């Protein structure tokens, strides 16, 4: 029977540990760790995600400062807000909720976040440092996945990992983190030929494509580890888990697998940032 990689349970235990770290930080510094969240526009899903991140901060005793900007915000206006947060010593981490309205240069906005406050791991500089094995905050979702795999003692070294999706904040950093841990990595995308054949060889499959149940369960080989980083309104992920779960040796449920680890990693890295500047 497959092992369920329970991200909800692990995230809860990490939060219990963070409560102690936050309290110790408060006693030492007289301050409370603070995550600034920026929401541009009125996308209801984004608003929900930002609220969840604020709630997670509250559960561990951290502060969150919610900044809401109108749909009409320009790139310059957003950059000015980020610059203000970069220069504010009370702010330990900055989260710009993705996606932003189309008139904004999202990459310029991400890259304007100071490296030491890039707790969501979205900057090019942070990605480059992580890829080279240097110290940097990892992209929150892939870093959370790695933590989950490690917690359940999933072997990575020497395994063939297939990552489906190449987004800059999920697919690409996920592939790089697996490569850094000595997996053999194949990145698949919209131009990939014969996706089922590639997935059928994989020891580790990561669904990061953003399309509901796009990866069919019968493509997954017996005994593979299945990681589903997708979440859709139908409460399904990117992988057809009804079949994949019967073939896998371990899998992440949807919901309750990767999602809680993303938020857990974000607040943990905010705590790390606060402690680094004690």
Query: What would the pLDDT profile of 118-177 be if each residue is shown by its tens digit?
Result: 999 999 999 999 999 999 999 999 999 999 999 999 999 999 999 999 999 999 999 999
Sheet holding 34-40, edge to edge: 63-69, 34-40, 93-96
What's the mean pLDDT in 225-237?
Answer: 95
Report the C-alpha gap between 103 and 83 in whole angstroms. Answer: 19
Q: Is 80 a catalytic residue?
A: no
Task: Name the catalytic one among 97, 176, 228, 269.
Answer: 97
Q: Is 240 a catalytic residue?
A: no
Report the C-alpha gap between 226 and 239 in whole angstroms. Answer: 9
Domain spans in the chain, listed from the N-terminal domain onward: 30-117, 140-258
Band of residue 207 on the pLDDT scale cut at 50, 70, 90: very high
Domain range 140-258, its CATH number among 3.40.50.300, 3.40.50.720, 3.40.30.20, 3.40.50.880: 3.40.50.720
Q: Is 120 a catalytic residue?
A: yes
Task: Name the catalytic one among 53, 117, 147, 172.
Answer: 53
Q: Considering the domain 30-117 in this protein, what is its CATH number?
A: 3.40.50.10860
Task: Name the catalytic one among 6, 117, 118, 120.
Answer: 120
pTM score, two decimals? 0.97
- For residue 228, the surrounding DSSP H or E stretch is strand 225-228
What's the mean pLDDT in 75-94?
Answer: 98
């Amino acid at each position: 029977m497959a092992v369920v990689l329970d991200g909800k349970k692990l995230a809860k235990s990490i939060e219990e540990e963070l409560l102690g770290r936050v309290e110790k930080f408060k006693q030492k510094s007289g301050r409370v760790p603070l995550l600034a969240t920026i929401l541009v526009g009125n996308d209801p899903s984004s608003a929900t995600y930002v609220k969840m991140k604020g709630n997670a901060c509250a559960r561990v005793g951290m502060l969150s400062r919610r900044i809401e900007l109108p749909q009409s915000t320009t790139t310059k206006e957003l950059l000015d807000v980020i610059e203000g947060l970069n220069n504010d010593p009370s702010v330990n981490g900055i989260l710009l909720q993705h996606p932003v309205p189309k008139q904004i240069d999202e990459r310029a906005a991400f890259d304007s976040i100071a490296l030491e406050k890039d707790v969501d791991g979205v900057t090019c500089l942070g990605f480059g440092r992580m890829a080279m094995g240097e110290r940097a905050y990892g992209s929150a979702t892939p870093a959370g996945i790695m933590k989950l795999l490690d917690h359940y003692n999933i072997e990575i070294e020497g395994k063939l990992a297939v990552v489906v999706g190449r987004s800059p904040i999920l697919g690409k950093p996920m592939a790089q983190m697996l490569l850094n841990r000595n997996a053999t990595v194949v990145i698949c995308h919209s131009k990939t030929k014969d996706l089922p054949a590639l997935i059928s060889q994989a020891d580790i499959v990561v669904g990061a494509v953003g399309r509901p149940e796009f990866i069919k369960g019968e493509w997954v080989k017996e005994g593979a580890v299945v990681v589903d980083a997708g979440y859709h309104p139908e409460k399904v992920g990117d992988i057809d888990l009804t079949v994949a779960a019967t073939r896998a040796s371990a899998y992440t449920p949807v919901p309750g697998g990767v999602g809680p680890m993303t938020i857990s990693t974000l607040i943990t890295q905010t705590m790390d940032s606060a402690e680094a500047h004690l």
